[in-house]
Amino acid sequence: MDLHNLGDLTIYSQSIVNQDGTTYFLAHSGGELAKRLGIIGDSAGFDGSVHNPSGALLCPLSAQNCTLLRERLPWLNPSPLGLKTSAGFGDRLGLATPGHVLALQAALQGASDPADVAPIFAQQSVRENARTGRPPRQVLDDAVWGVFESGWRGDWGADADHLKTFGDADEFAAAGFTFFTVDPGDHVDNEAHAASLAVLKDKLAVLPWKDLEDSREELYARYLGQTFEVETISLSFDEEHLLRAACKYSSAIRHAVHMYRHLVDSMGDRPFELEVSVDETATPTSPLEHYFIASELRRLGVRWVSLAPRYVGRFEKGVDYIGDLDEFEEAIAQHAAIARKFGPYKLSIHSGSDKFTIYPIIAQYTKGLVHLKTAGTSYLEALRAIADVDPVLFRQIFAFSKGRYEMDRASYHVSGDLSKVPAADDLTDEQLGTVLDQFDARQVLHVTFGSVLDWFGDQFKVGLAQNETAHYEALEKHFIKHIAPLLV
């Protein structure tokens, strides 16, 4: 049967799969925008209706049909990725995966060994779930359908991002996620960063020693006055630096250990990977503190594939790195050496989108042991596509976002200034997309995504569906710039 000649069906050619005598494909019918799973052959268990005249069963992209398709086509299931260079593609709309695949395929053409690079196509945090109204299962299913549409056959992962509670971890685990980012940032004692030695001693006395399976005397014996050689770096703890690290991070370490042990119990024999993130804290994680965190996690039996320190400089949403590049280079070299010593494990770069000036530095010092995490930049590129194809809608979204910015920015690290945002009325339709290249406007649009989706979500998604090629091309162009520098 010629799948390119099925009457009113438009077939996504990359999706066509022949497996065990049955053909599967993705299509949409006539003027409809809703995509359908097509099956010719054994369609037992799938919910759908027969298409005339082809005889194919056309099925809605439901959770039930997604589950059955994943059972038949194993590569549609996420899996652990190990130490491969990896990138997380947050997708707040559930429409971006095919564009991410295009970017990854283009970038991999220049990789020395494409098999050593892997994507995480399903990635969303609990905070983002709440703002988009998409539960973990929907996030995963949207990624599966995107993987199917684009014909991706390589390994890929699913990241339950910034988990803070057992309940949140359980919901993502039940949905089928394979990568769990534990965020113990609420348990970091930021006051310890600058506290006096006397205050630190008081804090040390009340640390959760039992949960840490430790004591003050044992802590001192492990670290105090010792020098640790890490490649070409020498690290040593005097009492002040030891107490500062212990008081700042011990409760966070305890929380990470509890989350890890819970995941071990709840996942059973299902393989999974852990990332530990302390990036959303008030002060940078020094190399000495990184050494302490890694050493203590290992002592307590935690196994992790990546760790996200709080790096020097500012990693604000949707914009380039803000800080001294020489200082960052010195710090990343030490962090990477520590990651190789205690793992090896990957350094994870959170709020990593659009940090173009530091990608070459990261690539140089991590030697491929890196995980780049992006999220809102895909939403911004979707807005860029809308600016090109529906200027009226973009103007409405832009004005609305400016009105919501001061409220919605509260939970984000951003410094965009509304007074510096260009006025849409001063721009022609052809110039509208340029606001996405302006620092302040980009952050205004970035952090207001939840409010925009509440008010304009249906119209926004219809516009993208009607202009899929423009949407995917915008994503491809943008993400090549993220991925290619890490593969050098």
Specify the pLDDT at position 316. Answer: 95
Specify the pLDDT at position 365. Answer: 98
Specify the pLDDT at position 116. Answer: 86
Specify the pLDDT at position 5. Answer: 57
3-class state of residue 409 by DSSP: helix
Give DSSP secondary structure letters for 277-288: E--SSSS---HH
pTM: 0.96
Specify the pLDDT at position 2. Answer: 59
pLDDT in tens, 301-349: 999 999 999 999 999 999 999 999 999 999 999 999 999 999 999 999 9
CA atoms within 13 A on the CB side of 42: 8
Give DSSP secondary structure letters for 68-126: HHHHH-GGGS----TTSEEEEE--SSS--HHHHHHHHHHHHTT-S-GGGEEEEEEEEEH
**Residue 143 CA from chain centroid, whole number:** 13
Distance CA 211, CA 257 (A): 9
Residues in CB range of 300: below 8 A, 6 or more apart: 212, 213, 253, 257
Q: Which residues of the chain have pLDDT under 50?
A: none
- Give the residue numbers marked as catalytic: 161, 275
3-class state of residue 49 by DSSP: strand
Phi, psi for 42 (deg, rounded to 5): -75, 105
Distance CA 451, CA 22 (A): 43
Q: How far is CA 20 from CA 48, 78, 187, in A?
A: 20, 22, 52
CB 36 within 8 A of CB 27: yes
Distance CA 372, CA 51 (A): 43
